């Protein structure tokens, strides 16, 4: 259950971005979670809803984009999106591939508000 630590890091980042931009509320947090990032999206959601209460994100909606594995084959040069958790090229069965996406956890976008007064 490291999702709580990840959410703490996420909310801390949100607070720093809000501060840097003189925002008083964050209304939307968009994140991208790779299927091979080692995070369970449902647990991340629960953790966010718990931790956001006392933070600048307390009214924020969390949007999670689940990123499948994307690989580029070094042999046939075909880029593939995989549904299985392997890194084998589905086009030519080569093991010589490079993972392009699907292993990271990224904060993508924030929607923020300023108090008018």
Partner 1 sequence: MCKDCGCSLTRHDHLGEHTHHNDHSHAHGHSHTHEHQELHTNPQLNDKKTLSVIHKILDKNDVEAGHNRAHFEAHNITAFNIMSSPGSGKTTLLEQLKEYTQLNYAVIEGDLETSRDADRLIAKGIKAYQIQTGSACHLDAFMVHGALHHLPLEGLDICFIENVGNLVCPASYDVGTHKNIVLLSVPEGDDKIEKYPVMFRRADVVLVTKCDLLPHFDFKMDEARAQLKKLNPDIQLLEVSIKDGDSMRAVAHWLKDNMRGTQ
Give bridge partners of residue 71 from the DSSP assignment: 80, 99
Q: Give the residue, chosen from 66, 91, 100, 108, that forms a contact with partner 1 under the rule CB under 8 A.
A: 108
Q: Give the residue, chosen from 68, 76, 78, 111, that forms a contact with partner 1 under the rule CB under 8 A.
A: 111
The answer to whether 62 and 111 are in contact (CB under 8 A) is no
The CA distance from 85 to 49, in Å, is 29
Query: Least distance to partner 1 from the beta carbon of 78, Å?
Result: 17
Cβ proximity to partner 1: between 12 and 77 the closer is: 12
The answer to whether 39 and 33 are in contact (CB under 8 A) is yes
The answer to whether 90 and 70 are in contact (CB under 8 A) is no
The answer to whether 37 and 103 are in contact (CB under 8 A) is yes
Query: Least distance to partner 1 from the beta carbon of 54, Å?
Result: 19
Binders of partner 1 in range 37-56 (CB under 8 A): 37-39
Asked if residue 16 binds partner 1 (CB under 8 A), the reply is: yes
The contact set with partner 1 (CB under 8 A) reads 1-2, 5-6, 9-10, 12-13, 16-17, 19-23, 27, 31, 36-39, 85-88, 95-96, 103-116
């Amino acid at each position: 259950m490291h999702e709580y630590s990840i959410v703490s890091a996420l909310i801390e980042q949100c607070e720093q971005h809000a501060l840097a931009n003189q925002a008083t509320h964050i209304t939307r947090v968009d994140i991208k979670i790779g299927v091979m990032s080692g995070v369970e999206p449902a647990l991340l959601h629960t953790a966010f809803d718990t931790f956001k209460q006392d933070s600048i994100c307390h009214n924020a909606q969390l949007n999670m984009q689940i990123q499948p594995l994307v690989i580029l084959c070094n042999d046939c040069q075909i880029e593939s999106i995989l549904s299985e958790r392997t890194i084998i090229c589905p086009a030519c069965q080569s093991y010589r591939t490079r993972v392009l996406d699907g292993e990271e956890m990224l904060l993508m976008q924030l929607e923020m508000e300023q108090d008018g007064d």
